[in-house]
Chain A
């Protein structure tokens, strides 16, 4: 089944490969500056705060709060057509940056801004695991 996965896959490059390797282990991570400690996401070649090149991927708790969510009724890729309508959410991590994901088990009951969420991962191909969020 995994071979038939035809939704968009990440472009894994030198800067983002650390994130995807940790995701494969079902650990959510953000980029942390070794020089000043600034946390950012997605990957940046230098620290947006102090411009240091010394960047590392650091696992975070995977807990956060729901900032927003939307429901797609239009498929911009054919592979999403059978899933319509599908949901996308934005979560503010307790450990820093905003991240985008999908709900893990459909839209949560009594969904509202600020509800506590936690990450789960879904293995969509042998190399790629995607973050999903469920109520914490």
Chain B
């Protein structure tokens, strides 16, 4: 039994908000964070002074964020700007709410990497392997995808299905950064970054911010919109094999399976109940690894699973219906969790998944996390 079973359906997401996504050189992290916070407060109808828990992720200084928002929480936490932190943050907020350390938690994520020209490699992220020229998370995913090709015969055209499906989803999302149609052939011919990966296998880099507001199920009942419940969570880290950053020779298969199993069990659902999947897609191969670990297909079979638009809004497993990191926005998992909430509320317009009742978030990383959201 999942030791966190007692928290199933106890905590609700009551407010979500985000800024526009793009390139905003004149705007600070804090400005974006405040804008997302205001949107989330308006979304749930709470008085902002009732926020007594503040979690900041990738925000430079939590106290400055709190000062700007005029908050004096009794629970504050800050987490680094790593994609793996979004799932971690949401579970931490659950614990704070369940124990009474806070009654209403605002989680704020900000990112100004685009306008400040972040590279995600080279001297920005020094490692032992720099003398050999191995740098950037994309290169680690290229190494893993090469292994998937060699072991299972997966092709770059199959990988293209992921990028094309998410772009088609983004076209239905008016807020997405990239909405120009792409084809499998374009995925194949566009410039390579770290081969076997090309430009369309890489996430976007854009500025923006996201805010989520969580409270207990009981308190949620008084708020503006129907609550979305956190029904299950699952977690497993893989630090012992982390010598090459963002790389795992087994594609975090056991970790994804374990985090997924914990989440399903806690929520009392199976993979077959999942109406939409929100899958951390820093690079397109991560999606294949996640599908296999969660058991949506057999090990090594994700290449054929994703063919023929399987991940589209109207496909057999609607995935990253907002366009994901590849085409919507690089909000490091946060926007995907917001999309899960909006799908369950039925707020997604043209990209709405019909009869959407169970949505799963999965991030296959050295800190693998999964969350299952259901309608309240």
Contact = CB atoms under 8 A, between A and B. Distances in A.
Interface of A: 7-11, 16, 40-42, 48, 67-74, 76-77, 80, 85-86, 88, 90, 97-98, 100-102, 112-114, 124, 128, 130-131
Given A70-B196, A71-B192, A71-B194, A102 B139 contact: no
B133 A72 contact: yes
Most buried by A among B119, B147, B240, B243: B243
Given A71-B194, A97-B243, A98-B249, A76 B136 contact: yes
B125 to A, nearest CB: 9
Given A7-B131, A67-B147, A130-B131, A73 B243 contact: no
A9 B131 contact: yes
Contact of B129 (A9, A80, A100, A113): A100
A77 B244 contact: no
A114 B132 CA distance: 21
Given A7-B133, A8-B131, A88 B146 contact: no
Given A42-B243, A67-B249, A73 B194 contact: yes
Contact of B193 (A7, A74, A77): A74
B309 interface: no
Contacts of A69: 143, 146
18 contacts: A8-B133, A10-B128, A11-B126, A42-B243, A70-B139, A70-B146, A70-B196, A71-B192, A71-B195, A72-B139, A73-B194, A73-B195, A76-B119, A88-B132, A98-B244, A113-B150, A114-B150, A131-B132
A74 B135 CA distance: 11
Contact of B123 (A73, A77, A101): A77
Contacts of A72: 133, 139, 194-195
Contacts of B129: 100
Most buried by B among A85, A86, A90, A97: A90
Nearest to B122: A76
B350 interface: no
B267 to A, nearest CB: 34
Given A88-B132, A114-B150, 15 more contacts: A8-B130, A9-B131, A40-B243, A48-B240, A70-B142, A70-B143, A72-B194, A72-B195, A73-B193, A76-B122, A76-B133, A88-B143, A98-B243, A98-B244, A113-B151
A100 to B, nearest CB: 5
A86 B192 CA distance: 12
B300 to A, nearest CB: 13
Contacts of B131: 7-10, 124, 128, 130
Interface in B88-114: none
Contacts, number: 93
B224 interface: no
Interface string B181-211: 0000000000111111000000000000000
A10 B240 CA distance: 23
B134 interface: yes
B121 interface: yes
B123 to A, nearest CB: 7
Most buried by A among B136, B144, B194: B194
Contacts of B119: 76
- A-B complex: 8 closest residue pairs judged by Cβ atoms: A76-B122, A113-B150, A8-B130, A76-B121, A71-B195, A70-B142, A68-B143, A73-B192
Contacts of B243: 40-42, 97-98
